[in-house]
A and B are shown apart, each in its own frame.
Chain A
Amino acid sequence: MNEGGGLIGPVLAGYLYLIAAVLFIVGLKRLQSPKTARRGNQIGALGMLLAIVVTLIHYEILNPWVIVAGIVVGGGVGLWLAKTVEMTAMPQLVAAFNGFGGAASALVAAAEYIENSGSASFDLRAAITVALTVLVGGVTFSGSFVAYAKLQGLVPGRPFGYPGQKVGDSILVLVILGLLVWLIVGGSSLVLWLLLALSLVLGIVRVIPIGGADMPVVISFLNAFSGIAAMLAGFVIQENALIISGALVGASGMILTNIMVKAMNRTLAHVLFAAFGGDGGGGPAGEEQPVKSATAEDVAITLGYANSVIVVPGYGLAVAQAQHTLRELADLLEERGVDVRYAIHPVAGRMPGHMNVLLAEADVPYDKLFDLDEINGDFPHTDVALVVGANDVVNPSARDDPSSPIYGMPILDVDKAKTAIVIKRSLSPGFAGIDNPLFYKDNTLMFFSDAKRGLSSIAAAVKEL
């Protein structure tokens, strides 16, 4: 931090930035419980406000209107997006926010280079950090918007590759590395723009081949990247507040990436470098095997006279907008004295924790939601497991069949419950295109219906009991 021209000196500003960083850490710490989380987020926002105010009064501002315009436009767009987004669209929104953050970091570095690279203070350290920030910020920006487009359905969610992809990508990476070195040892603004342009291309070609099913990993990973971009921007302007916050977010993104990758039984390298998921190659022909098909009345009797029910919601529930109907059914069952809990697989939604938010929106209390490790041991002494819109995360082949492509993926053991009820439109395989032996088990009842219509007809039948 240098050239403080405003009302407070650099030392005081430094301390105030430190307080802002501490507020971020305190705020994140409060996210450890749903009771304190909201206040924690507000503490973080307070830290951000402090950092912004300190910056505005500490640094000499030559053209305040540029700043006012940026704050008004950006703040307005951010506010509008936050207020209007549907909870099902949260993954897209977070992807877009990641992208804007990455773009801002890249632009900070680009402006610093263009306006300052001729001066004496622009040393080797500055050149290295500018080059890296432009690269990471650019990849974050374009990668995030490809993820956004995939999740929003603007481009096909299925994974696809193109001929010569590996060779093309390798050449691209080599050219980028060359530009990086060129920019550091000499270079010009033309090299900078070329580096930025190719970083954008790299983000696009790296995310396009990744299938929709892997997007939770991609979003988490890009989240880490947006933090790293902010951290590098902190190196560029030599400001510890950016470095601390960026490193926090980088760590958070990497942890979430790791959790997602483990929950999907994948490795990060496999997600990023192999097109996978939903290629439609169905497993062993399932149509031949008999299934036990049930009516709404059958399901209502099984649920209504059970002692304990564990609901396993999947993304199909959210697609059908059936969270509220599910909640109504659960209320009816609880009135009858049935113990109803929810088992949430880490990849039940389209991003980490997504299903929990969707159920919270439907007023399901958070203390009824349990993650895989907490609840999996309870299935053998549970009367009914009710699976709504989930498929691969309850597929026993992941546990029992070493030849299955999803073998080793952690699953919810719904087949161990006394009865498993699956609400599903048809026997078609899920996102990963793999047949599910659960559907053909003796203790499994299949209720063929759309999630919302099915749940409301079950609820109506429970009322009749």
Chain B
Amino acid sequence: MDPLLISITVTVLAGFVGFEVITKVPPTLHTPLMSGSNAISGITIIGALVVAGRYGGTAGVVLGFLAVAFAMINVVGGFMVTDRMLEMFKSKERP
């Protein structure tokens, strides 16, 4: 199968999965949902690691470094701040 067709197939199916999963998230968790899904979009870290590791030219090194650093801010910051928020959500049963 053509690689582009595979990629587009994956995109469409993942989009539907995302829609099904996300519509069921209650409004009370929409901020953690946004920061958490934002951390997941930091998956671009994979691409950043690949280009930072693969290319030895000046442009490759500089762009690779920046890409890894930016993606890491997104990943680490996103998951940590989401955890910090979710830790605060308590039900009334627990005093």
With contacts A97-B77, A236-B47, A238-B7 taken as known, whether A108 is within 8 angstroms of B34 at the C-beta atoms is no
The chain A residues found within 8 Å of chain B, CB to CB, are: 17, 21, 24-25, 27-29, 31-35, 37-38, 40-42, 44-45, 48, 51-52, 55-56, 59-64, 66-67, 69-71, 73-75, 77-79, 81-83, 85, 87, 90, 93-94, 97-98, 100-101, 103-105, 107-108, 110-112, 114-116, 125, 189, 219-220, 223, 226-227, 229-231, 233-253, 255-256, 259, 344, 346, 349, 351-354, 356-357, 360-361, 363, 365-369, 371
Contact, CB under 8 Å: A52 / B34 = no
A52 and B49 contact, CB distance less than 8 A: yes
Q: CA separation between A237 and B7, bound complex, in Å?
A: 11
- Count: A-B pairs, CB below 8 Å: 393
A34 touches B28 (CB 8 A): yes
Which residues of B are found within 8 Å of A361, using beta-carbon distances?
88
A105→B47 contact, CB < 8 A: yes
Assembly CA distance A237 to B44 (angstroms): 10
Contact across chains for B37 and A74 when beta carbons are under 8 A apart? no
Nearest Cβ in chain B — how far from A388, in angstroms? 18
Contacting pair B54 A115 (CB below 8 A): yes
Closest 10 pairs (CB-CB, A-B): A74-B72, A70-B68, A353-B30, A251-B18, A78-B77, A78-B76, A82-B80, A352-B30, A74-B69, A247-B14
A37 CB, nearest partner CB in chain B, Å = 5
Asked if A81 and B39 sit within 8 Å, CB to CB, the answer is no
B71 neighbours in A (Cβ, 8 Å): 74, 100-101, 104
Q: Is the CB of A29 within 8 A of B53?
A: no
Q: Please, what's the 1-or-0 string for B72-92, where 1 marks a CB less than 8 Å from any CB in chain A?
A: 111111111111111111111
Is the Cβ of B31 less than 8 Å from the Cβ of A353? yes
Q: B46 near A55 (CB under 8 angstroms)?
A: yes
A35 CA / B86 CA spacing, docked (Å): 9
**Chain A residues closer than 8 Å to B75, beta-carbon distance:** 48, 74-75, 78
A27: B residues at CB distance < 8 A: 36, 40
Given contacts A71-B69, A97-B78, 9 further A-B contacts (CB under 8 A): A38-B87, A78-B80, A104-B74, A107-B51, A115-B55, A125-B3, A223-B38, A249-B41, A252-B22
B19 to chain A, nearest CB (A): 5
30 contacts between A and B (CB under 8 A): A28-B25, A32-B25, A32-B26, A37-B32, A45-B79, A52-B49, A61-B53, A66-B65, A67-B64, A69-B65, A70-B67, A71-B69, A77-B69, A77-B77, A94-B38, A100-B70, A101-B70, A103-B67, A107-B51, A115-B57, A125-B4, A226-B41, A248-B40, A249-B18, A256-B33, A352-B33, A353-B28, A353-B30, A353-B33, A357-B32
